[in-house]
Amino acid sequence: MNDFLLRAFLGLDAVLIAPFRLVDDARAGFACGILVTALGAALMGRACAAAVDRVQRAKRTRQEAEIKRHQDTSFSALAVKDRETYLAANHLAQEAYGNAMALAAGRAAALIWPALMVLAWATWRFSGVPLPLVGESAGPAVFFIPAYLAAQWGLGRLKRAKAARRDRAGS
């Protein structure tokens, strides 16, 4: 079992280090590696979150519908100044929200685990290595986290643009 884990780790190491060696220049190679691994982690995270979301869909839809039903009831109660019903419906909506949040936390875990793994790997791989611009005063997280956030932001924009195009084509 230990051999299997070691082989799996070495295989992963070979894949993750490859983009850092795409360019001969060390600084450019480091930048390239950080950007590619950040994009890869963001893509993989989104794919995993989408898979979890797909499996959760029925339950999530049910719970979100319940939240919405109680919220609508509470708004209607407010509209006719029925404070007691408002508080009752609000309490029920809060319970349903707790369950929906538990599902959302699962999707969040699916979204960020690749980034944490890459971060852990990069911290180990570049331990004691002076990095561009910061030397040994900082770890690779300083470069990886902004790159990862930028990748997530960019992918989010792409997804929204794609959805908008699809909507326009459909209408």
Q: At what angle do helices 2-17 and 83-125 cross, to 10 degrees?
A: 90
Contact set for other proteins, span 35-74 (CB under 8 A): 48-49, 51-52, 55-56, 58-59, 67, 70-71, 73-74
> To the nearest whole angstrom, how small is the minimum distance from the Cβ of residue 19 to other proteins?
19
Q: Is 98 among the residues that bind other proteins (CB under 8 A)?
A: yes
Give the separation between CA 22 and CA 57, rounded to whole angstroms: 40
Q: Is 6 among the residues that bind other proteins (CB under 8 A)?
A: no
> To the nearest whole angstrom, how small is the minimum distance from the Cβ of residue 24 to other proteins?
28
Do 36 and 19 contact (CB within 8 A), yes or no? yes
Contact set for other proteins, span 114-143 (CB under 8 A): 114-117, 119-121, 123-124, 134, 136-139, 141-142
Nearer to other proteins by C-beta: 22 or 105? 105
In sequence order, what are the residues at sequence separation of 6 or more whose Cβ sits closer than 8 angstroms to the Cβ of residue 89? 70, 71, 73, 74, 77
Q: How many residues form the binding site for other proteins (CB under 8 A)?
A: 71
Nearer to other proteins by C-beta: 22 or 130? 130
In sequence order, what are the residues at sequence separation of 6 or more whose Cβ sits closer than 8 angstroms to the Cβ of residue 34? 122, 140, 143, 144, 147
Q: Is 86 among the residues that bind other proteins (CB under 8 A)?
A: yes
- Enter the tokens of residue 116: 């944490």
The residue range among 21-29, 31-39, 91-99, 162-170 that interacts with other proteins, by the rule CB under 8 A, is 91-99
Answer for which of 18, 50, 129, 145 binds other proteins (CB under 8 A) is 145
The radius of gyration of the chain's CA atoms, rounded to the nearest angstrom, is 23
* 101-107 LR contacts (CB < 8 Å, sep 24+): 103/56, 103/59, 103/60, 103/63, 106/52, 106/56, 107/49, 107/52, 107/53, 107/56
Nearer to other proteins by C-beta: 22 or 160? 160
The residue range among 13-21, 30-38, 77-85, 157-165 that interacts with other proteins, by the rule CB under 8 A, is 77-85
